[in-house]
Structure 1
C-alpha cells in the first residue's frame, strides 16, 4: 500500500495580493481617541459600580453589620482562649451561649418592670417638656404652643419606638436576625470567607489584602471591646446612682444610657435629656441630682474610657465620626447610625495601608 505524502500546512499569513482588512464601525483607529475612550469606559464603570452599591446599600450594610458583630463574638472567643484551653469552635459556642443566657435573664427578670417603665417614659418626658415651655413663655419667650406640642409628639414617636423596643428587650426583627445569623457564620470560620474573598482578587493583591484584613479585624475587635466596656460602665453606673437616690425608672434609664453609649457623640446627649427630664418630674432637687449624675458619668467615660480605647484602636476625630453618623443615619436610619463608627475606622485602616504601600513603592 503506497504511503501518502503529508500535505504541507499553509501559512496563515495573508497574501500580499489579499485585500486589506477594513475597520469596523466599532474600531477606533485614532490612538488619542482610543485612549480617551478607555478613560471614559473606566469612569462609566465606576459610576455603574457606585450606582449598584447605592441600590444594594441596605443588604451590603446588613453584611457589614454581620462582620461587626462577628468581630464581637471573635473578640469574646479570643478572650476566653486566654483562660480556657479549648478549641475555637467551643469558645465561640460558649460566647453565644452566655449571650443568650444574659438576654434570657433580662427578658425574664427585668423585662416586666422595664416594659412598664418604658410605657410611662413618653408621658413623663412630654409633661416635663410642656412645663419647660410654659416656664419659657412666662419669661417672655414667644412661640406657638400648639406647634411646639406637635413637634413634641413627633419627637416622642421616636422615643416611643425606642422604649417599646427596649420593653420587648430583644425583638424578632428581620434585619437583626439576619445580622445575627451572618455574624455566627463569620465568627465560626472567618478564614474561609477571607480566603474566598482574596481568591477573587489578582494574585499580586492578595498579600496586601491579607495584611489589611488582619489589621482591620484587630482594630475592629479593640474598638468594639472599648465600646462594650463604655456601655457597661455607663449603664451600670447610671442605674446604680439613680436607684440610690430613688429616681423613678432608674432601671430603664440605665439600660437606655448603656445602649445609647454605642453611638458616640449622639447617644450621650439623648440619654442625658431623658434622664434630666425624668429627674425633674420628682422635683428640682432630684433633677439637679440627675444632672450631676449625667456629668459625672460622662466625665469618667470621656476622660478615662474613651482615651484608653482610642490609644489602642483607630484614633478617630470626633467631628469625622459625627459627620459620618449624620450621613449614615440620614441614609439608612438606626442601622446606619450604629455602624458609622466601625465603618469610618475600617476606611481609615484601608487608607493608611494604601498610603504605606505607595510610600514603599
Structure 2
C-alpha cells in the first residue's frame, strides 16, 4: 500500500496575490513612505531647533569665557553674569527704546499703504515699472503662498522660540551632560576623532556668532545715523529690521532695503537713490570688511554653495532654515573634511603630492 501523505519537507506552493491585494499592498507602501517623509521633515525641523539652541548656548559660554579671562572669576559666577547680564541688557534696551519703537511701528503701519500706492504710481510712469507691476499683480497669489510657507514652522513661531530658548538654557547649564552622553555611543577608537570634530565645530560656531553679532550692531548704528540725516521716518524700526535680516546672508540685505526705499520714494526720487546707496554702502562695509576680520576662524565657504544651501534650507524649513543655513553648512563641511577628505589623503598620500603639481588653467 502506497503512502499518499505529503512529506514535511516538501515546499508548499506560493499563493498568488489577487489584484485587489496587490493594490492594497501598493497603497500601504506609499502611505508608509509618505508618513516617513513627514516624520523626517518634522524631525529635521527639530534638529534645526537643537542647532539654534546650541548657538545660544555657545554665545553664553563664549561670553562667560571672556568674563572669566578678564575678571579671573570662577566658572559659575562668570556664567551667571553672562546669562543674567545678557537678559538685563536686553531688558534695558527694550525699556528705553520700546516706546519709541512702538510709536514708529504704528507710524510705519499707518503710512505703509500710502507708501505702496506712491511707489506703484512712480513705477507706472516707466515701461519697465509697468512690467514689474504686471508681474506682481499676476503672481500675487504665489508670492503670498511663498511668504506664508517661508514663515511657517513646525510648532509656530512663538512655540519654536519657546523651545529654542529653553533648550539653550539647558545646554548652557549643564553642557557636559549632553557632551558626555553623546561620547558614550562613540567607539573607543573614534573618541579622539570626534573630540577634534566637536572642537572644530565649536570654534566655527563661535566665529559665526561673533561676526553676526557685530554685523547686527554695526548695521543698526550705521543705518540709524544715515537715515536720520536723510529725514526718513521710522528710523529705529527700519534699522532694526535691517539688523535682524542681516542674520540671513545675501537675501536679508535685499529684503531690508524695500521698506526704507519705499518710504524714501514718498519724499523724492533723489532721496530714494541716496537711501539705496546708504543701504548698499553699509551692507558692503560690514559684509566685506568687518565680518571677514571677525570670522577669520570660520570655514571659508564658497558664496555659491552658501546660496544653494539657503535655497534648499528655505524650501525645507522656511525662515529658520535660511537663518541656520550657514552654520549648518559649516558643520557639514567639517564633518566631510574630518570623516572623508582627511581619510582619503591619509590612505592615498600621492593625491596630495599630485594636487600640488596640477598646472593652473590659462
Is the Cα–Cα contact under 8 Å of residues 126 and 156 in structure 1 kept in the other structure?
Answer: no
Counterpart check, 1:54 vs 2:11:
no
Alignment-derived partner of residue 299 in structure 1: 284
Give CA deviations for 1:28-59 in whole Å, capped at 9, x if unaligned: xxxxxxxxxxxxxxxxxxxx998864341222
Is the Cα–Cα contact under 8 Å of residues 212 and 349 in structure 1 kept in the other structure?
Answer: yes
Is the Cα–Cα contact under 8 Å of residues 321 and 344 in structure 1 kept in the other structure?
Answer: yes
Task: Select between 113-122 and 311-320 the one with higher mean Cα deviation.
Answer: 113-122
Counterpart check, 1:311 vs 2:296:
yes
Question: Alpha-carbon deviation of 1:103?
Answer: 2.1
Unaligned runs of 5+ in 1: 1-21, 26-47, 163-170
Q: 323, 326, 351: which one pairs with 2:336?
A: 351
Is the Cα–Cα contact under 8 Å of residues 204 and 298 in structure 2 kept in the other structure?
Answer: yes
- The aligned length equals 309
User: Which one has the largest radius of gyration?
Assistant: 1
Q: How does 1:181-220 map to 2 (within 5 A)?
A: 181-220=166-205
Task: Select between 142-151 and 176-185 the one with higher mean Cα deviation.
Answer: 142-151
Alpha-carbon distance in 1 for matches of 2:214, 2:309: 22
User: Which of the pair has the greater relative contact order for Cα pairs under 8 Å at 6+ separation?
Assistant: 2
Alpha-carbon distance in 1 for matches of 2:185, 2:46: 20
Is the Cα–Cα contact under 8 Å of residues 261 and 276 in structure 2 kept in the other structure?
Answer: yes
Alignment-derived partner of residue 28 in structure 1: none
Alignment-derived partner of residue 313 in structure 2: 328
Task: Select between 259-268 and 75-84 the one with higher mean Cα deviation.
Answer: 75-84
Question: CA 1:64–1:248 in structure 2 vs 1: closer, same or farther (change >3 Å)?
Answer: same
CA RMSD of aligned residues (A): 3.4
Q: What SS is found at the alignment partner of 2:70?
A: coil
Counterpart check, 1:108 vs 2:114:
no
Alpha-carbon distance in 2 for matches of 1:284, 1:157: 30
Q: How does 1:173-322 map to 2 (within 5 A)?
A: 173-322=158-307
Is the Cα–Cα contact under 8 Å of residues 216 and 246 in structure 2 kept in the other structure?
Answer: yes
Counterpart check, 1:90 vs 2:64:
no
Alpha-carbon distance in 1 for matches of 2:288, 2:322: 24
